[in-house]
Structure 1
Amino acid sequence: MPPVYALALSLLVTAPLLAPGYLLLRDAVSTPRSYLSDAALGLSEAAPRALPQDFAVAMASQVLDGGIVVKALLVAGLWLAGWGAARLAATVLPDAGVPGRCVAVTVAIWNPYVAERLLQGHWSLLVGYGALPWVAATVLRLRDGSGGWWPLPFWIALAGLTPTGALLATAVALVGVCAPGAGRRRWQVVAATLAALLVTAAPWLVAAAVSKSLAATVSGSMASGVAVFAARAEPGLGTLGSLAGLGGIWNAEAVPDSRTGLFAVVATLALLAVVAVGATVAVRRPAAVPLLVLAVAAVVFPALMATGPGLAAVEAIVRVLPGLGVLRDGQKWVALAVPGYAVAAAGVVVALRGRVPVAAVGAVSCALLVAVLPDLAYGVGNRMVAVRYPAGWSAAADIVNADPRPVAVLPPDSMRQFDWAGSAPVLDPLPRWVRADVLSTGDLNVAGTTVPGEGGRARAVQELVMDGASARQLADAGVGWVVVEADGSALDLPVAYRDDDLAVYRVGGDATSSPHRTLLIAVHVAWLALLAGSGLAGCVTLWRTSGAKIAVPLRRRLRRGPDQT
């Protein structure tokens, strides 16, 4: 029942994406095909934020359309979040039964965090989010001796589609280790967790080391965006209240309409009421205590990071250790509260048992949580839909792919505004659609403030293009193609393709590939082997367990003989 309910909620949220087309919304970019360019392997000027995600999609899109791959992973991430929350509730509060597990499913899927991250386009982060309750349940089962090892590396590797996901999963695992138990020792679970993290993090750690992309950020490009990406207070709640309600994303435009007014207060109170009532039961279960403590910390610390002293501290840390630029978006760490919230919410049926039928408590709680965030349904109020690329994009990609040389792109910003893709801006799709490396500055304009990226070379090349440099000058700078998107500007360069949406200019320059490609492919393959290997081990274990459950009663029946049955 809970897995089916979780799937139903997930499909209700993502319904518009089930239509043909591609997810193209802010940071979410899907294309028919992706390739293992240097950028997809993290061998570019930009910090390796999308590893091993880009590698995984590039490999999968050789078999399936890339749009299907991304949409399937997004739906799977939400489904796993709900199903995992039910599994976690069953591990910690078995007496909550199916009604309590369904409440946990609702909290994990139907909340502002999911809505805001969908609108921001963070589909791969939501895959990692979906793995968190499974990580918590796995560690608790290891501690009490009822579970095996294989799920731990699998869920950490799956969460590790992005660096943030890997860190979130590791944090949940290390906190879960604090739970009491007579099973696996704490040091063993910690060692296994860190080993899985090392393999999972290797793609972006190695990419950052060999490309020196993090060294380029020491000048302050990472630190300059700390204030811009801090958690944001919602109407009537303040920053702490917004985060406690699992909201407060930095981008005010990536917020469901129901959270833009004082109704956000009602919604937050409803969520916290369910969690608080259930927490009175959950806090008495030793296995739940570490997760509840983590939930409180996951709300309080991002709130502190959004204060003046907190912003100064984060900025100082990022200037000294640029690799910790992942801390800038403080609200995304609120995901760490969800396992604790799910367990506490499941406890509401236990807390009210004896006074109200448990089925009624479960049904009312689920209905209440859905009712206070009505516009999460159907693609967050139909703001997340499948779109189709104009034919010219495919034609332009084919031209570049036939002769994959470095590409310079205009306009200079990383975000684009396409009439055919809706009203929200979107990251440039071109870098994920061509074999060639696309020179991108990584500059981001947020509410009139430009947060500079790490693409120094791309910035210099774009300035050459905008200053009217000749084809010879651009070729000498290592540019093979110039693509102009969206703004319709015409350049005095040889035209290879042009339509109303974009223009492709042939320049002819070239640049050598990174000498570290083989190394980066190897560490990505190691991550994939960890994911696939642990997943296969799990399938074998489940098959043997299921076979044993069937075989034992059968043997007993055969021993009794047909006349004794």
Structure 2
Amino acid sequence: MPDLRAIAIRAIPAFYSFGLAAIVFGPLFRPGYLLYHDAVSTPRSFLTDSALGLGDAAPRAVPQDAIVAVASTVLDGGLVVKAILFASLWLAGWGAAVLAKSLLDASTGPQVVAATIAIWNPFVAERLLQGHWSLLAGYAALPWVVHAALKGSWPGLAVCFAVAGLTPTGAVLAVLTAVAVVRGRHLIGVGLLAVAASAPWLIAAAMSEGGSSSDPAGVAAFAARAEPWLGTTGSLAGLGGIWNANAVPTSRTSVYALVGTVLLLVVVAAGLPGLLKRRDRVIYALALLAVVAIAFGAVAATSWGIDAGEWVVVHVPGSGLFRDTQKWVALAMPLYALAGASAARESFRSLWTPKRLTSVVAAGLVLIATPDLVWGVAGALKPVHYPPSWERVAAEVGEGDVAVLPGGMFRSFPYTGKALVLDPAPRMLRSDVLQTGELIVAGGVVKGEGDRAARVEKTLLDGGPPSDLAELGVAWVLVEHTTPGPLGSAGKTLAQLELTYDDAELTLYKVPGDVAASAKPRALAIAAHVLWAMLLAGGLLGLVVRRRRATADQA
């Protein structure tokens, strides 16, 4: 007969992680859609060329956009995105607890500390505020990658790589973590899994119109940022320092940034001696990975680091992926989580009694370090509700690409509050919506990779003839009325178009005449996405088979 008490105790870290994730997720449990900074979810999205990474801009949201598009044919797209985000928060904590158990043989209390560090830290807060929900999926996969590598579980690694591979950055994070902990011939297997997980964006990058080089201005714009009283290195060591000052929780904008960083690092530092004295190769590898990730971000933010980065993004294809240097501190999370567990097991026991309170003290310090993560980062993340106009316009749009006014990629609608958000049109409409990829950041403008969307926008703002739009493959023009932005002389062009829908929110025009075809070969891109899906499905199936065999052996 199973020992129910032992089973319940083993389940505590999973339930704790679930509860802590729920506290962070908070207001997003309510109905509505995540539309905040870079995060965009819609009731339904479509498998457009852009969703496959074949649009004008670099394929940064591949395969996430295609996966959500397919899933939204049977489930509400907003629910899909929120489910992935919540699962990422939960699994980050649970994975850290599992890793502490497998590598340190940690008991329940230290596992809880590890889970707390993985979920409750400035990196998670800042990436939530930036809207990087799919990057957090890659972040969550990291402790599971280490655990699967330690157990020799290729099905587990396959699932981790597929989940992390929702974005190019997540795939690279998983690969770097795996390479750090596996040995010898196993690196070949890691390489094969990495290619399968990365196939969607690798193929898209090779086929995309966007080109392979990035605007060098993005290197300085996306460099890690020093938070108050910390400097760049201190901010990164505290898992903070995102480039966007508008994506920072309030506690990181004052002297409390120093207080919170000290509290987190006290817990981590208290556990490091116990970790390192184990002389475990995997622990050493994770420590080196953490140091390199923090040092890379700090060096890249120096003047000569920026100069070097600018040269690299111009001359090395695909290197624009690395220009947001703060995101790589995610690689430090597995070590930090293990150090927290070690602190609760060993170091704190010599400082506090009774013994059972050591984990409570360690977890409490971590929670206090970033107090405003609670409830959607102090209520910043709230679900929004789209006006009915969007659904009506989506039903009207047919074949041919769509241009959007006002110019620019970011919007500020009455229903989104004060935050600038990415235009939801590309994910709301069944046809490709042309976007320049141009980003307005502190200190200037970072140009996108392609030029067709920029030419279309210039044609509209200059009041060019509809024939110019048609030659550029534009069949529709959508005007979004409730957001500020440049309109230029677009009225001259709009007056010559066919009005198909109009209300106070949106107006849709049809471009008359023959429109140049802009369809791209999709078979190879779709095949790459199928390979990614097979990696995920095959890994899950392998885990089920492995579990059944283990159960049969125990019987």
Report if the CA contact (8 A) 1:406-1:511 is conserved.
no
Map of 1:494-509 to 2, 5 A cutoff? 494-508=498-512, 509=514
Alignment counterpart, residue 442 of structure 2, candidates 431, 437, 447: 447
Residue aligning to 1:170: 175
Q: Deviations over 1:39-85 (max 9, x none)?
A: 11111221111111111111111110000000000001111110010
Residue aligning to 2:112: 102
Give the whole-Å Cα distance in 1 for the aligned partners of 2:399 and 2:204. 22
Alignment counterpart, residue 522 of structure 1, candidates 521, 527, 535: 527
Amino acid at match of 1:201: S
Report if the CA contact (8 A) 2:159-2:535 is conserved.
yes
Residue aligning to 1:295: 290
- Kindly state the Cα deviation for residue 515 of structure 1 after the two structures are TM-superposed: 4.1
Map of 1:9-48 to 2, 5 A cutoff? 9-48=20-59
Amino acid at match of 2:315: V
Unaligned 5+ segments in structure 2 are: 1-11
Map of 1:147-166 to 2, 5 A cutoff? 148-166=153-171
- Kindly state the Cα deviation for residue 352 of structure 1 after the two structures are TM-superposed: 3.0
Alignment counterpart, residue 236 of structure 2, candidates 232, 236, 243: 243
Q: Deviations over 1:384-404 (max 9, x none)?
A: 11100011111111111xx22
Call closer, same or farther: CA 1:53–1:511 in 2, change over 3 Å: farther
Residue aligning to 2:251: 258
- Kindly state the Cα deviation for residue 250 of structure 1 after the two structures are TM-superposed: 0.1
Amino acid at match of 1:315: E
Q: How many residue pairs end up in the alignment?
A: 530
Residue aligning to 2:348: 352
Map of 1:161-560 to 2, 5 A cutoff? 161-177=166-182, 186-215=183-212, 217=213, 221-285=214-278, 286=280, 287-349=282-344, 350-353=346-349, 356-400=353-397, 403-447=398-442, 449-485=444-480, 486-487=482-483, 491-492=494-495, 493-508=497-512, 509-549=514-554, 552=555
- Kindly state the Cα deviation for residue 317 of structure 1 after the two structures are TM-superposed: 1.0
Report if the CA contact (8 A) 1:302-1:333 is conserved.
yes
Give the whole-Å Cα distance in 1 for the aligned partners of 2:135 and 2:523. 27
1:53 correspondence with 2:64: yes
Q: Deviations over 1:385-443 (max 9, x none)?
A: 1100011111111111xx22210111221111111112111111111111211111011
Give the whole-Å Cα distance in 2 for the aligned partners of 1:242 and 1:12. 24
- Kindly state the Cα deviation for residue 478 of structure 1 after the two structures are TM-superposed: 2.0
Give the whole-Å Cα distance in 2 for the aligned partners of 1:507 and 1:298. 50
Residue aligning to 2:80: 69
Which deviates the most, 518-527 or 364-373? 364-373
Map of 1:77-92 to 2, 5 A cutoff? 77-92=88-103
Which deviates the most, 231-240 or 29-38? 29-38
Residue aligned with 1:280, SS: helix
Residue aligning to 1:121: 131
Give the whole-Å Cα distance in 1 for the aligned partners of 2:197 and 2:14. 27
CA RMSD of aligned residues (A): 1.5
Which deviates the most, 490-499 or 272-281? 490-499
Give the whole-Å Cα distance in 1 for the aligned partners of 2:132 and 2:273. 33
Report if the CA contact (8 A) 2:425-2:433 is conserved.
yes
Identity %: 50
Report if the CA contact (8 A) 2:411-2:483 is conserved.
no
Give the whole-Å Cα distance in 2 for the aligned partners of 1:451 and 1:526. 33
Residue aligned with 2:318, SS: helix
Report if the CA contact (8 A) 1:139-1:189 is conserved.
no
Report if the CA contact (8 A) 1:404-1:434 is conserved.
no
Q: Deviations over 1:301-336 (max 9, x none)?
A: 110110011111111111111301011100000000
After TM superposition, the runs of 4+ consecutive aligned structure 1 residues lying more than 4 A away are: 487-490
Call closer, same or farther: CA 1:462–1:325 in 2, change over 3 Å: same
Give the whole-Å Cα distance in 1 for the aligned partners of 2:48 and 2:290. 39
The alignment's TM-score, normalised by the length of structure 1, stands at: 0.91
Report if the CA contact (8 A) 1:11-1:75 is conserved.
yes
- Kindly state the Cα deviation for residue 131 of structure 1 after the two structures are TM-superposed: 0.3
Report if the CA contact (8 A) 1:38-1:513 is conserved.
no
Which deviates the most, 344-353 or 465-474? 465-474
Give the whole-Å Cα distance in 1 for the aligned partners of 2:462 and 2:216. 30
Unaligned 5+ segments in structure 1 are: 143-147, 178-185, 553-565
Report if the CA contact (8 A) 1:430-1:438 is conserved.
yes
Amino acid at match of 1:37: T
Q: Deviations over 1:11-55 (max 9, x none)?
A: 110111110000001110001111111111111221111111111
Amino acid at match of 1:256: P
- Kindly state the Cα deviation for residue 369 of structure 1 after the two structures are TM-superposed: 1.1
Give the whole-Å Cα distance in 1 for the aligned partners of 2:472 and 2:65. 27
- Kindly state the Cα deviation for residue 212 of structure 1 after the two structures are TM-superposed: 4.6
Residue aligning to 2:8: none
Residue aligned with 1:484, SS: strand
Give the whole-Å Cα distance in 1 for the aligned partners of 2:97 and 2:483. 49
The alignment's TM-score, normalised by the length of structure 2, stands at: 0.93
